[in-house]
A = this chain, B = another copy of it.
């Protein structure tokens, strides 16, 4: 962070760094020291990011040893390409696999200067409203780190195991029997409502346990109608 003004922002940045699995925070000429009470209170569980933060007098000093320096900015500088974050992330992550990468965030009010941007290998921007696109500093860091993390391993979904096709077919047969018992099916057009119900269940992506649950329901409907028939006779 280059000359951050607000200790609240610095604390929130520490927090989101820890949220996203990072810890190396460098503050260049901050207005408040990293252990300012407002920093600490906003960092909540990430206070050690602040304890270990380095405070430096010059940006150049901070960038030493970085294989890739990324400047974040909203302003297009003539001749320099401004890459949207999502596109830039793979490049940042590739380098970070084996070498040091520095990502610069500027002042709350004015961002990074042209001179500071000229020290960067890559200028990255967060797409936002063309008129009201000035993000809170800690929001910009949050979004940036979220994007990096999201592309780190590729998105992994919690994989539900769906019921095999034949179970659904068995379920549907059971359903048709139950529905005909309670007179739900139109004799003129027996498939009508049933097909719609099937579509709902197909779309829902059922697992085997849910299939069993629904079969329990249909069994219960059939049971209820049998009771009704017996009752009618009695």
Pairwise interchain contact A197-B217, C-beta atoms closer than 8 A: yes
Pairwise interchain contact A134-B19, C-beta atoms closer than 8 A: yes
CA of A149 to CA of B129, assembled, Å: 9
CA of A234 to CA of B228, assembled, Å: 11
Pairwise interchain contact A184-B217, C-beta atoms closer than 8 A: yes
Residue from B83, B196, B227 within 8 A of A213 (CB atoms): B196
Say how far A38's CB is from chain B's closest CB, in angstroms. Answer: 11
* A127-151 Cβ-contact flags toward B at 8 Å (1 or 0): 1110011111011001100110110
Residue from B150, B184, B209 within 8 A of A216 (CB atoms): B184
Binds B, one of A10-18, A29-37, A57-65, A99-107: A10-18
Identity of the chain B residue whose Cβ is nearest the Cβ of A202 in the assembled complex: B204
CA of A218 to CA of B135, assembled, Å: 44
* A193-234 Cβ-contact flags toward B at 8 Å (1 or 0): 100110011011110011001101100110111011111101
CA of A223 to CA of B224, assembled, Å: 11
Pairwise interchain contact B184-A128, C-beta atoms closer than 8 A: no
Residue from B158, B183, B197, B224 within 8 A of A228 (CB atoms): B224
**A110-166 at interface with B (beta carbon < 8 Å):** 126-129, 132-136, 138-139, 142-143, 146-147, 149-150, 155-158, 160
* A156-188 Cβ-contact flags toward B at 8 Å (1 or 0): 111010000000000000000001011110000
Name 6 A/B residue pairs within 8 A (Cβ), A-sorted.
A45-B132, A76-B158, A84-B157, A136-B142, A197-B214, A200-B204
